[in-house]
């Protein structure tokens, strides 16, 4: 991978090869991000396409302030949120009939959880908690930014994050995976 | 591990995750977006331009009838002698007094055309009753466009002949034609008109006095059967205009019986054609007084198909884990039962997705027109030759998957010849500008689907409004 600044310059000149390089470099990282927000593979694809459409449309606006990676991730988050707003797609987990043993919580167990486990746990958060948690903890946005992007108040974002953290721990305590790992 | 470390662990896990992507698909979507974006401004600019042109033409052709281009103000025109005036009567009752002969018009200052709006200054137009030979300073009839009003006191002879109005671009031949056509309203020869101190303030007054003279009253009461002379030599007349309308495409969708594709069945049940948009620029050529003429142009239409996907199903996930654990009474033995844990999820999918079919056609038609007064009805029959069909959006392709309609190559890029009939009503606001409405029906025999698994054909009907310019 060449220097990203060089690729951006060539992209701005309309060099298709560099544009393809940019997509190939950032696309694989952004697709999981889009999936995390949209919770649907097809909507994530749509969001990813929108992301790159916007990236190439507004690339000239990237002044080099901050990291390009953060800039492009922010666009991806916005596009994912837009896709969710546009779509009437609903995905409800209505019932969960499993029987669980609820072991006590031990922090060392977290390390054994992989990507899929963590995603599954996070997706059990109520939607607004899930969004705020993702945006604050993973993407690193502050509460003001989150409030603007989700159209909620800054304080609401802050309280949602606190509740999300508490809820997350509760979910973890209830997870069979957790019990399994504890038993090993 | 502290909770902060746990969150850092989550962040690292998520940000390091990568998945394979379809780079070509994304680049195709980027290209498609770029093309559609670049077309939009031209489309909007085109519409604005056409609208602006139509409005300009309309207003230019509806300037007040008092608009007069005349001789320069403050110029004294004296010793003007005008013989043998003829009054012609136009259909709209406009009263033109046309000079048959302007033999001796001597002008002290050069005659200059002056817009009526600037016609504030005094216009001294002295015409003295006398007969003398022409000279180099004679005011040619073409130099005058319209002259109205003289003071009645200016006439030195017993016959008062108050005004003359001369149209633009009349030449000697035109005048002679006029004379021949309306010779019954020609005044006796050697009647001489004197003008004095003509000024614009009295134009209206003079017009009124003109209308009230017995001669002009006779002219005004001419029967409609009197046909106005046509001074034009070009027997052809052309029209250009813009049509904007909505239509209701009627889709005929059928599935190849050999195909067992539930997505197609779902499309047949749930895909609905929404209203279409039509835009057309037309040009027609008509021979004077012929009721039939030909018409062509370029037409764009956009149809929208909407798919509502409603799927409810239950998904069962199986994970392995500890189903139960028991502790012995003594508390020193812990017994686990390890096995499958079933997680049942009821899933509802509600999704609404659109795709669009855009067509670019060249219509060619024959029109029959029947005029009555300022109105006309037209019957039009023709064929439309498709030069490009392009689609956009997402189409339902399988289970809960929507595919970019371009990537899937679902539709033909050419849809052949279609046939249409139209019924027009139009109203002429003047000799150039007209507005109208259309009801139309299109029959499109061509197959839109490029796949063998399904067939998609259309009929189309709708209404439009239009404006145009005739010249």
The predicted pLDDT at position B106 comes to 38
From B162, B194, B220, the end of a domain falls on: B220
Greater model confidence, A95 or B381? B381
| Chain A partners within 8 Å of B33 (Cβ) | 53, 57
Pair B395, B262 in one domain: yes
Architecture of the domain whose range is A4-86: Orthogonal Bundle (1.10)
Which pLDDT score is estimated for B295?
92
Rounded Cα gap, residues B209 and B155, in angstroms:
14
Residue B396 shares a structural domain with residue B275: yes
- Averaged pLDDT, A172-184: 57
Q: Model confidence at A178, in pLDDT bands (50, 70, 90)? A: low
From B220, B248, B278, the end of a domain falls on: B220
- Measure in Å the smallest separation between the Cα of A115 and chain B Cα atoms: 6
Place of tokens 């033995």: B333
Query: Taking chain B (471 residues) in consecutive chunks of 10 residues, what is each chunk's mean pLDDT?
Result: 75 86 85 68 68 67 47 40 40 40 40 40 38 41 40 42 44 48 43 45 62 60 55 76 92 80 82 91 87 92 88 78 83 82 79 89 92 89 92 82 78 90 90 90 90 87 92 85
CB of B327 within 8 Å of a chain A CB? The answer is no
> Is the domain of B194 the same as that of B157?
yes
Does A141 have pLDDT greater than 60? yes
B263: chain A residues, CB-CB within 8 Å:
none
Q: Which residues pair with B164 in a beta bridge?
A: B147
Residue B25 contacts A, CB cutoff 8 Å = yes
Domain boundaries, chain A: 4-86, 107-183
Q: How many CB atoms lie within 10 A of CB B291?
A: 12
Partner-chain contact A90 B322, CB within 8 Å: no
Distance CA B149, CA B114 (A): 16
Domain membership of residue B72 (yes or no) is no
What is the enclosing helix (H) or strand (E) of B211? helix B203-211
Tell me how close the Cα of A174 comes to any Cα of chain B, in angstroms. Answer: 12
Return the residue in B19, B32, B310 with the most chain A beta carbons within 10 A, the one to mutate for interface testing. Answer: B19
Does the beta-carbon distance from B343 to A53 stay under 8 Å? no
Could you give the C-alpha distances from A86 to A30, A35, A72, A79, A99, in angstroms and in order? 20, 16, 21, 10, 37
pLDDT score recorded for residue A87 = 64
Question: Which single residue is written with the structure tokens 């037409």?
Answer: B299
Asked if residue B261 and residue B138 are part of one domain, the reply reads no
Residue B267 and residue B214 share a domain: no
Residue positions counted in chain B? 471
pLDDT at A99: 35
In which domain, by residue range, is B39 found? Answer: 27-59
Are A28 and B19 a contacting pair at CB < 8 A? Answer: yes
User: Considering chain A, what percentage of its residues have pLDDT values greater than 70?
Assistant: 78
Residue A64 confidence (pLDDT): 66
Question: B399 and B457, same structural domain?
Answer: yes
Contact (CB<8Å) A96/B33? no
Count of domains forming chain B: 3
Q: What is the pLDDT of residue A167?
A: 85
CB B422 within 8 A of CB B383: no
Q: What fold is seen in the domain A107-183?
A: Arc Repressor Mutant, subunit A (1.10.10)
Kindly state whether residue B271 falls inside one of the protein's structural domains.
yes
Contact residues on chain B for A89, CB-CB shorter than 8 A = 349-351
Residue B314 touches chain A, beta carbons under 8 Å? no
> DSSP E strands: which ranges in B334-432?
334-372, 375-398, 401-404, 417-428
Of B185, B220, B255, which residue constitutes the final position of a domain?
B220
Residue B329 inside a domain? The answer is no
pLDDT score at B377: 92
> Which of A49, A124, A139 has the most B C-beta neighbours within 10 Å, making it the best mutation to test the interface with B?
A49
pLDDT in tens, A19-54: 898 999 999 999 999 988 888 888 888 899 989 998
Return the closest-CA partner of residue B239 out of B47, B467, B59: B467
Select the residue of B15, B322, B400 nearest A179 (Cβ to Cβ).
Answer: B322
How close A9 gets to chain B, by Cα (Å)? 18
Max CA pair span of chain B? 147
Q: Is the predicted pLDDT of residue A176 greater than 90, yes or no?
A: no
Q: Look at residue B90 and tell me if it is in a domain.
A: yes
Q: Which CATH number goes with the domain that contains B414? A: 2.40.160.20
**Strand extents, DSSP E, B43-117:** 81-89, 95-104
Mark out the alpha helices in chain A (DSSP H runs).
4-12, 16-38, 41-57, 68-86, 115-122, 127-133, 143-150, 154-174, 176-183
Interface test with B, best of A45, A57, A133, A169 (most B CBs within 10 A): A45
In a domain, B75, yes or no: no
Q: Would you state the structure tokens that stand for residue B227, as one six-digit string?
A: 């046909």
Residue B40 has a pLDDT of 59
Residue B92 lies in a domain: yes
Same domain, B356 and B256: yes
B20 occurs within a structural domain:
no
Output the pLDDT for position B107.
Answer: 39
In the three-class reduction of DSSP (H, G, I as helix; E, B as strand; rest coil), residue B418 is classed as strand
pLDDT of residue B407: 73
Together in a domain, B51 and B86: no
B402 contacts in chain A (CB < 8 Å): 42
User: Does B53 share its domain with B159?
Assistant: no
Indicate if the pLDDT at residue A94 is higher than 70. no
Query: Chain A contact for B21, CB < 8 A?
Result: yes
Same domain, B41 and B118: no
Residue B400 tokens read as 């809960």
CA distance A102 to A4: 48
Look at residues B461, B399, B467 and name the one whose alpha carbon lies nearest to residue B433: B467
CB of B344 within 8 Å of any CB in chain A?
A: yes
């Amino acid at each position: 991978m060449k220097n990203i600044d060089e690729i951006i310059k060539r992209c701005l000149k309309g060099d298709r090869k560099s544009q393809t390089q940019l997509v190939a470099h950032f696309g694989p990282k952004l697709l999981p991000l889009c999936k995390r927000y949209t919770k649907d593979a097809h909507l994530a694809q749509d969001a990813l396409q929108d992301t790159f459409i916007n990236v190439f449309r507004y690339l000239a606006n990237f002044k080099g302030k901050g990291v390009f990676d953060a800039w492009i991730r922010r666009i991806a988050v916005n596009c994912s949120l837009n896709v969710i707003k546009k779509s009437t797609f609903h995905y409800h987990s209505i019932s969960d009939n499993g029987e669980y043993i609820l072991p006590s919580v031990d922090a060392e167990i977290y390390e054994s959880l992989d990507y899929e486990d963590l995603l599954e746990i996070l997706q059990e958060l109520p939607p607004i908690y899930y969004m705020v948690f993702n945006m604050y903890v993973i993407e690193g946005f502050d509460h003001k930014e989150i409030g603007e992007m989700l159209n909620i108040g800054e304080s609401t974002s802050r309280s949602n994050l606190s509740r999300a953290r508490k809820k997350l721990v509760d979910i973890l305590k209830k997870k069979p995976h957790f019990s399994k790992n504890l038993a090993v | 591990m502290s909770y902060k470390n746990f969150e850092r662990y989550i962040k690292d896990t998520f940000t390091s995750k990568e998945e394979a992507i379809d780079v070509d698909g994304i680049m195709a979507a980027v290209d498609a977006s770029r093309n559609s974006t670049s077309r939009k401004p031209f489309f909007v600019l085109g519409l604005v331009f056409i609208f602006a042109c139509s409005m300009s033409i309309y207003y230019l052709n509806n300037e007040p009838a008092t608009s007069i281009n005349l001789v320069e103000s403050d110029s004294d025109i004296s010793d003007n002698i005008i013989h043998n005036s003829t009054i012609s009567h136009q259909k709209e009752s406009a009263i033109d007094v046309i000079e048959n002969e302007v033999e001796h018009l001597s002008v002290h200052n050069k005659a200059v055309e002056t817009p009526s709006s600037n016609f504030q200054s005094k216009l001294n137009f002295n015409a003295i009753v006398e007969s003398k030979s022409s000279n180099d300073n004679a005011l040619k009839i073409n130099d005058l466009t319209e002259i109205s009003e003289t003071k009645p006191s200016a006439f030195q002879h017993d016959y008062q002949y108050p005004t003359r109005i001369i149209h633009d671009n009349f030449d000697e031949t035109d005048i002679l034609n006029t004379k021949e056509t309306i010779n019954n309203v020609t005044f006796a020869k050697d009647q001489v008109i004197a003008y004095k101190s003509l000024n614009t303030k009295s134009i209206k007054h003079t017009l009124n006095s003109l209308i009230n003279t017995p001669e002009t009253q006779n002219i005004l009461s001419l029967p409609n059967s009197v046909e106005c002379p046509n001074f034009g030599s070009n027997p052809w007349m052309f029209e250009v205009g813009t049509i904007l309308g909505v239509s209701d495409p009627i889709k005929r969708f059928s599935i190849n019986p050999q195909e067992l594709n539930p997505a197609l069945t779902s499309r047949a049940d749930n895909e609905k054609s929404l209203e279409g948009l039509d835009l057309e620029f037309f040009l027609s050529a008509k021979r004077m007084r012929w009721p039939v003429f030909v018409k062509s142009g370029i037409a764009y239409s956009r149809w929208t198909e909407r798919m509502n996907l409603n799927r409810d199903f239950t998904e069962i996930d199986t994970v392995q884990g500890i189903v139960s654990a028991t502790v012995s009474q003594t508390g020193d033995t812990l017994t686990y039962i390890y096995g499958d844990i079933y997680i049942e999820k009821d899933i509802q999918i509600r999704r609404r997705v659109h795709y669009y079919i855009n067509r670019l056609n060249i219509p060619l038609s024959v029109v029959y027109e029947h005029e009555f007064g300022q109105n006309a009805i037209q019957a039009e029959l023709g064929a439309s030759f498709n030069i490009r069909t392009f689609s956009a959006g997402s189409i339902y392709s399988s289970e809960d998957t929507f595919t970019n309609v371009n990537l899937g190559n679902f539709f033909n890029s050419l849809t052949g010849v279609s046939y249409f009939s139209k019924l027009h009503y139009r109203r002429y606001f003047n000799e150039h500008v007209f507005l109208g409405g259309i009801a139309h029906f299109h029959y499109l025999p061509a197959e839109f689907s490029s796949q063998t698994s399904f067939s998609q054909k259309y009929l189309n009907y709708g209404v439009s409004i239009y404006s145009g310019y005739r010249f």
